Amino acid sequence: MDNMISSGTEPEALTGEFSQADMAALGVGAHAKPKRHAKRHLGVIIAAVVLAVLIVALVASFFGARMYYKDKAAPGVRLGNVAVAGQNAAQLKQTVDHEVQNSKVIITDGQGKKATAGFKDLGVNVDTDKTVQDLLAAKGNGASRVSPFSKTDVKLVASVTDLPIDTYLTNTFVQDGDKAVPSSVAYDGNAKKFVANAGHGGRSPEMSGVKNSVNTLIADPGQVKSVQISYKTIDAPVSQSNAQSAADAANKLLANKIVINNGDASKFEVSATQLASWIKPNVDLEKGTIKLDIDKTAIINYLNAEMPKELNQDMVSQQDIVDSTGKVLLTMTKGVNGVKVKDGSAVADQVYSALSNSQPATIQAAADVTKFDVQQQKPEMRIVVDRSTQTATVFKNDQQVQSFPVCTGKPGYETTPGTYVINIRYDTQTMRGPGYVTPGVQWVSYFNGGQGFHGAPWNPTGIGTGDPAGHGSHGCVNMNVNDAKWIYDNCPRGSLVQVVGNQPSAPVR
């Protein structure tokens, strides 16, 4: 300062701007700004930070809202007039059910009759689950989903058909005697055929007003609507000619025979009455038609129950009578394969197809088969009835043991030649035939239907002379009583009988 004064230089005014040299002399860097510029810069920074915080908050709020409403109804979503924002699926279901229950139509006819009907009464089918899905999906997934300023109205997902409404109105407002009755088709069990029953016209409510009210409630549920109906006169909902056509078509189905077999010895035909029970006339009152449906479930149930009873077979061993060389002389019992049917559903498919196409069918059921075995038996006792000599000779193990005089059947009733076995025996029996009844016949051994050995005390001449032409029987082998008893006592069931020789025309003894 002293140097400055002594040099004679005046100090510069302090009110002017500093030069760069001055600032350097004072130790201030050349880049330094005035203090008020620093304050301005700080304000900009603070504003930017605040704005960034707000943006972050808004973004966080947006994504937070999206997460919150992810499984809930979005803001602004309504079911009719009911706001459902924030409700989850379970809560929405309760809301939908509540609004459905409170949706009513008050119906009057202007003649003193009145009824209050809900959706269920009028046959309105509400799909609650689909309605809930629509509420959850309303407003999409974009930025507008969480906007509280946009509104979306969702209506019930429901189906409405005329017939349930018409049926409710008719049953509620029309007396039975005034109702229109459709012609119908029914099976007549006595006649074994389908017949058409004539219907008639009648009084019917006009349902358009009720239907309009229902549609309004579907769009805006939870309200009560009032409507007045009128009446009209209608023809029979199904004409007699349509019913007769359906009956004729059903009878054509009945004419086709359905036969089911097991691929072996058993089969059965499905009766017309059973077929008729599977043919279901389905009336469409809206179209005035009758369609024939085939009840496949009933077919399956029937076949599963009946096929085993009709087609299953127990295996039966074949019983053959053979001679000493093994030659089969007679089959006493014919062998039967064991059969067990299975897969009734496959047979039901074929029966259903045949009926649907109006075709007859012979159907083989699948089955497990057990082949019968063959058992051979050489009978100990054998009786040879020789018509030419009128004798009955008994062999035991092919050795003759007895021979008896007999009298066989007369002309027209000859004892039939052939090989048989004794199968039925009676110690005493009343015999009946054409023109005779003979009680107390003793020691009867049948071998061929009504032909057999028996005592014939009334025919000693025929037996003694061997004269079937003059004293013959109605086919049996007449014997002396003691001889018939010997046969009865010594020749059991299964004993072989061989009838041979020619019929004589005169006594042979």
196-229 confidence digits (pLDDT tens): 999 999 999 999 999 999 999 999 999 999 999 9
Residues 182 and 272 reside in one and the same domain: no
User: Which residue from 261, 277, 374, 358 is spatially nearest to 317, judged by alpha carbons?
Assistant: 374
Environment class of 173 (CB within 10 Å of its CB; exposed 0-12, middle 13-18, buried 19+): buried
| 86 & 175 share domain | yes
Q: Given a cut of 80, is residue 48 above it in pLDDT?
A: no
% of the chain with per-residue pLDDT over 70: 87
Based on the domain organization, do 221 and 76 belong to the same domain? yes
The least confident of 39-53, 64-78, 94-108, 400-414 is: 39-53
Question: How high is the pLDDT of residue 247?
Answer: 98
Give residue 29's pLDDT.
47
* Residues 211, 100 share a domain: yes
Structural domain includes residue 214: yes
pLDDT at 24: 46
pLDDT of residue 50: 66
pLDDT value of residue 58: 52
Q: Are 300 and 442 in the same domain?
A: no
Q: Is the per-residue pLDDT at 428 higher than 80?
A: yes
Strand, helix or coil at 74? coil
Residue 15 lies in a domain: no
Using one digit for the tens of pLDDT, what is the confidence trace for 404-420?
A: 999 999 999 999 999 99
Query: What pLDDT does 55 receive?
Result: 64
Q: Are residues 99 and 171 in the same domain?
A: yes
CATH of the domain at 426: 2.40.440.10
Torsion of CA 333, 334, 340, 345, to 10 degrees: -140
Assess if residue 50 is contained within a domain.
no
Secondary structure (3-state) at 40: helix
Examine the domain organization and report whether 263 and 286 are in the same domain: yes
Whether 9 maps to a domain, the answer reads no
Could you tell me which residues come within 8 angstroms of residue 99 by beta carbon, excluding any fewer than 6 positions away? 79, 80, 82, 156, 221, 222
- pLDDT for residue 31: 47
Give the number of other Cβ atoms within 10 Å of residue 4's Cβ: 10
**DSSP per residue over 176-228, as a string?**
GGGB-B--EEEEETTTTEEEEE--B-EEEE--HHHHHHHHHHHHS-S-EEEEE
Q: Provide the b/e sequence for 84-99 (b: ≥16 CB within 10 Å).
A: bbebeeeebbebbeeb
Q: Measured between alpha carbons, how far is 40 from 483 in angstroms, rounded to an integer?
A: 153
- Judge contact between 38 and 55, C-beta under 8 A: no
Which domain, by its residues, includes 99?
A: 69-239
Domain assignment of residue 1, yes or no: no
Looking at the predicted structure, is the pLDDT value of residue 118 above 80? yes
Of 214, 239, 264, which residue constitutes the final position of a domain?
239
pLDDT at 65: 55
Q: Distance between CA atoms of 222 and 99, rounded to whole angstroms?
A: 4
| pLDDT at residue 144 in the model | 66
pLDDT band at residue 26 using 50, 70 and 90 as cut-offs: very low
Residue 193: inside a domain: yes
Tell me what the mean pLDDT of segment 473-480 comes to: 98
pLDDT value at residue 41: 72
Same domain, residue pair 261 and 219? no
Q: Check which CATH number belongs to the domain holding 368 and give it.
A: 3.10.20.800
What's the rounded Cα separation, in Å, for the pair 232 and 180?
11
Q: Which residue has the higher pLDDT, 214 or 62?
A: 214
* pLDDT at 422 (0 to 100): 94
pLDDT (0 to 100) of residue 64 = 53
Distance CA 233, CA 179 (A): 10
For position 286, what pLDDT does the model report?
A: 87
Of 239, 272, 295, which residue is a domain's last?
Answer: 239
Report the chain's mean pLDDT, rounded to a whole number.
Answer: 89
- Rounded to 5 degrees, what are φ and ψ at 441? -75, 130
Q: Does residue 420 lie in a domain region? A: yes
Both 342 and 369 in a single domain?
yes
CA 174, CA 180: separation in Å to the nearest integer? 10
Asked if the model's pLDDT at residue 174 lies above 70, the reply is yes
Q: Residue 183 is encoded by which pair of tokens?
A: 């012609």
User: Minimum mean pLDDT among 27-41, 150-164, 289-303, 451-465: which range?
Assistant: 27-41
With 0-12 / 13-18 / 19 or more C-beta atoms within 10 angstroms meaning exposed / middle / buried, residue 434 is exposed
Domain count, the chain: 3
- pLDDT for residue 38: 62
Looking at the structure, tell me whether residues 111 and 222 fall in a common domain: yes
Q: Quickly list DSSP for 1-39.
A: -HHHHHTTPPPPPTTSPPPHHHHHHTT--TT---HHHHH
pLDDT at residue 388, rounded to an integer: 98
169/260 same-domain check? no
Lowest mean pLDDT among 82-91, 147-156, 468-477, 498-507: 147-156
d(CA 452, CA 495): 12
Residues 349 and 485 in one domain: no
pLDDT at 301 over 50: yes
Whether residue 23 lies inside any domain: the answer is: no
> What pTM was estimated for this model as a whole?
0.60
pLDDT digits (tens, 9 = 90+) for 254-296: 999 999 999 999 999 999 999 999 999 999 988 999 999 999 9
CB 266 within 8 A of CB 313: yes
Q: Is the pLDDT of residue 432 over 60?
A: yes
Residues 296, 352: Cα–Cα separation, whole Å: 6
- Identify the domain boundary among 208, 239, 270: 239
Residue 274's identity, in one-letter code, is: Q
Q: What is the pLDDT of residues 340-396, one digit of tens each?
A: 999 999 999 999 999 999 999 999 999 999 999 999 988 999 999 999 999 999 999
